[in-house]
Amino acid sequence: MKSGRRIIDMHVHTDDSPDADIPAADVAARAAGEGLLGIGFVAHVDFHPADRCRGAFSAEAYSRSLERAREMPGSPVLLTGIEVGEPHLFIAEAMEKADGMCLDFVTGGLHWIGERSVLDASGFAGVDPLALVEEYLRVSVEMASDASIDILAHLGVWRRGLARAGGRVDIDETRLWPGLLWRLFEAMTDRGIALEVNTAGLRRPESVTYPTASVLRFYRECGGRIVTIGSDTHSESHAFYGLSQGVEILASVGFTEAFGFRDRRPFPYPIKA
Ligand SMILES: [Zn+2]
Ligand SMILES: [Zn+2]
């Protein structure tokens, strides 16, 4: 998987986020070497009181870091984004923090349901996991209906926390909550919000994309067409992991193109499995 992946990886963190350690310029150089079409950089912009990235975002430092990446010779297309945690609650604060930046896109990521992190085993302690997942979907509908975001990140990332808690993750949301998913996808298509295929789950025990192929098929049946592909890279060791498999999954459920965002507007490019 070293060359010719004509993919825009729309979910790449840099050392501008406290939980990531790879400089933007290094990511750009590596992407050029691997033949990627482009990178959508994101930095965490978080306000949840218990989030480790809370308060860490600096628009100035992040902008400088992306400038250095753009100076690298032979860089692929480099797009500027932020990942706002719980945007239904914090989008206004996040946009204030990013004031002055020319953002190509804003990604919304749901990591917390109240005081419970769906990314960690502790989030599932003492609760019925299905009830928490259902609540995660309800809040996702709220996010897609209310928050000014361009991309909905890693739908189904609760599998990471549930797998860590020792729970079964072979849950088919399309069977259990088709009505909630339909409402979610209706809100997204109405508002032009893209659904991300996040490939980070492929390197974890749950070994699936977020969302799964089944949910992606349902999204397409509901009329969803705007999809992005993202590896959720945080370090050198797993940079761009699973992108080709993400494309294969998209193609297998009928998608022939994926999207990037520039100036907060989607643009398509063809994908080949
Ligand atoms: Zn996230
Ligand atoms: Zn992320």
The string of pLDDT tens digits covering residues 136-185 is 999 999 999 999 999 999 999 999 999 999 999 999 999 999 999 999 99
Q: Is the dihedral of CA 217, 157, 66, 89 positive or negative?
A: positive
86 C-alpha to ligand 1 centroid (Å):
10
- Residues of the chain above pLDDT 90, percent: 95
**Nearest Cα to 152, choosing from 41, 224, 228?**
228
Ligand 1 center from residue 198 Cα (angstroms): 10
Q: How many other CB atoms are found less than 10 A from the CB of residue 208? A: 19
The rounded Å distance from CA 10 to ligand 2 centre is 10
Going from the Cα of 183 to the center of ligand 2, the distance in angstroms, rounded, reads 24
Compute the mean pLDDT over every residue in the chain, rounded to the nearest whole number. Answer: 95
Closest ligand by atom to 81 CA: 2
Q: What residues pack around ion ligand 1 (CB closer than 5 A)?
A: 109
- From the CA of 70, how far away is ligand 2's center (Å)? 21
Ligand nearest to the Cα of 43, by number: 2
Please report, as a single letter, which amino acid is at residue 60. Answer: E
Would you state the pLDDT for residue 2? 45
Which domains does the chain show, CATH number per domain?
8-270 (3.20.20.140)
Predicted TM-score (pTM) of the model is 0.97
Ligand 2 centroid distance, CA of 25 (Å): 18
The predicted model gives 196-209 an average pLDDT of 97
Q: What's the rounded mean pLDDT across residues 6-22?
A: 95
Q: Write out the H or E segment, with its range, that includes residue 163.
A: helix 158-164
Q: d(Cα 153, Cα 173) in Å, to the nearest integer? A: 16
**Position 208 confidence tier, pLDDT thresholds 50, 70, 90:** very high
Token pair of 159 as six digits: 């599998």
Q: What is the mean pLDDT of residues 211-227?
A: 98
Condensed to tens digits (0 to 9), the pLDDT of residues 32-72 reads 999 999 999 999 999 999 999 999 999 999 999 999 999 98
Q: What's the confidence (pLDDT) of residue 4?
A: 53
Q: How far is the CA of 42 from the centre of ligand 2 (A)?
A: 7
Ligand nearest to the CA of 42: 2
Residues above pLDDT 70, as percent of the chain: 98
Q: What is the pLDDT of residues 119-138, one digit of tens each?
A: 999 999 999 999 999 999 99
Long-range contacts of 173-178 (CB under 8 A, 24+ apart): 173/133, 173/137, 173/211, 173/212, 173/214, 173/215, 174/214, 174/215, 174/217, 174/218, 176/130, 176/134, 177/134, 177/137, 178/218
